[in-house]
Amino acid sequence: MKRFFFLLLLAIMGLVSCDDSIEENIPNEEFSALNKENKKRCFTMEKLEDNLSKDKNLSSKMSVIEEHTMNFIKKGNFKRLANGAIQIPVVFHVIYRSSSENLDLSVLQGQIDALNEDFNLQNPNRGALPSEFSSVEANAEISFTIQQVIRVQNTKKRRWRPNDDMKYTSKGGSDAVNPQEFLNFWIVNSMPYKKGQVLGYAQFPGGNRATDGIVVAKNFVGPRARTATHEVGHYLNLRHIWGDGGCGASDYVDDTPDADGPSRGCPSYPTAECGSNNMTMNFMDYSDDSCMYMFTTGQSNRMDAVFASGGFREAMAN
């Protein structure tokens, strides 16, 4: 009997330690029944930590980019290109197993439309903006167009880890296309991770060009989806509004209030933390899609910096 319980204990320990392998066997429909607190919205910071551990030069590269950003903002020269809004060409990589997972062009265009709304002060929900934040609401003046759609059928894989495999043809995904000038946008069916599901993740400026871009799960792409807006924010060097810490942690932006952590659902206003009201409607929070509808001037300035002379995404702006 003791041997039986010992073996049972080993089996349970094995299940816990091999959590990643179990996730592959969980049907998609069962994810909605998992503990919502464990459901991740964005995997960008975890992916950054992983990249930093693998690339010993990445930290110094990002420090140079941050110094450039601070100098750009300090100079206060936010003059835009002569033709107005920055135009970002998007390459969609649609990776699917069955035909039902192969998103129609209209869905992709709907996602582009949503990005254009959010980065050009046209979000349909912005009328609910509290007057407290109206003075810092900003038009990022960034527009998106479809450059190319690449469709890859992978009949062996439906669920993907947030480990960049989808960014390589050799691993069943699709190689990045001209990442210095195009925003590469990978769409996969799902990304299960630790008894939850990753909605999307992005790569900050400074990382490997071969993996540069954003990844979003299929169910969170479309005309009313804001996951891509959040991830493009990271791609353009924005941090989570709570600074990925408690009160006092910084998102490197002066006009976003301090927050103790991410918002969930659709918080009512005012929601106070850290001695001020939370900006729960900011695209870099975790509020529901319909309750996120603004960037601030400080965030817009940080995005401008990556397109400026010497910025990591200067070629894209030109």
**Residue 1 or residue 284, greater confidence:** 284
Residue 123: pLDDT above 70? yes
pLDDT digits (tens, 9 = 90+) for 40-66: 689 999 999 999 999 999 999 999 999
Average pLDDT, the chain: 88
User: Quick one: average pLDDT of 7-19?
Assistant: 36
Residue 13 confidence (pLDDT): 38
pLDDT digits (tens, 9 = 90+) for 182-234: 999 999 999 998 888 999 999 999 999 999 999 999 999 999 999 999 999 99
Whole-Å CA distances, 315 to 130, 179, 308, 310: 37, 10, 9, 9
Nearest residue to 40 via CA among 279, 246, 200 = 200
pLDDT digits (tens, 9 = 90+) for 245-255: 999 999 999 99
Contacts of 130 (CB under 8 A, 6+ apart): 269, 270, 277, 281
Per-residue pLDDT band at 80 (split at 50, 70, 90): low
Residue 35 confidence (pLDDT): 36
Per-residue pLDDT band at 16 (split at 50, 70, 90): very low
Residue 195 confidence (pLDDT): 83
Residue 127 confidence (pLDDT): 96
What is the percentage of the chain residues whose pLDDT exceeds 70? 85
DSSP sequence for 90-139: EEEEEEESSGGGS--HHHHHHHHHHHHHHTTT--TTGGG--GGGGGGB--
Residue 78: pLDDT above 80? no
pTM of the model: 0.88
Contacts of 81 (CB under 8 A, 6+ apart): 317
pLDDT digits (tens, 9 = 90+) for 262-302: 999 999 999 999 999 999 999 999 999 999 999 999 999 99
User: Quick one: average pLDDT of 92-110?
Assistant: 97
Residue 2 confidence (pLDDT): 38
Q: Tell me if residue 314 is catalytic.
A: no
Of 16-25, 27-36, 50-59, minimum mean pLDDT range: 16-25
Residue 79: pLDDT above 80? no
Residue 290 confidence (pLDDT): 96
Strands 200-202 and 214-217: antiparallel
Residue 14 confidence (pLDDT): 38
Of 25-39, 106-120, 274-288, minimum mean pLDDT range: 25-39
Q: Which domains does the chain have, with CATH numbers?
A: 38-317 (3.40.390.10)
- Using CA atoms, how far apart are residues 289 and 271, in angstroms rounded to an integer? 18
Residue 194 confidence (pLDDT): 87
Residue 39: pLDDT above 80? no
Instruction: Please check whether residue 73 is in contact with residue 305, taking contact to mean a CB–CB distance below 8 angstroms.
Output: yes
The one catalytic residue among 181, 231, 273, 314: 231
Nearest residue to 54 via CA among 150, 128, 164, 149 = 164
The Cβ of residue 2 has, within 10 Å, a number of other Cβ atoms equal to 6
Nearest residue to 118 via CA among 242, 293, 250 = 293
Residue 1 confidence (pLDDT): 41
Instruction: Please check whether residue 198 is in contact with residue 219, taking contact to mean a CB–CB distance below 8 angstroms.
Output: no
What 3-state DSSP class applies to 309? Answer: coil
What is the percentage of the chain residues whose pLDDT exceeds 90? 81
pLDDT digits (tens, 9 = 90+) for 142-174: 999 999 999 999 999 989 999 999 999 999 999
Instruction: Give rounded-to-5 percent helix, strand, coil for the chain.
Output: 40, 15, 45
For tokens 């990556």, the residue is 306
Residue 3 confidence (pLDDT): 43
The dihedrals phi and psi of 4, each to the nearest 5 degrees, come to -65, -45
Residue 309 confidence (pLDDT): 92
Residue 85 confidence (pLDDT): 81
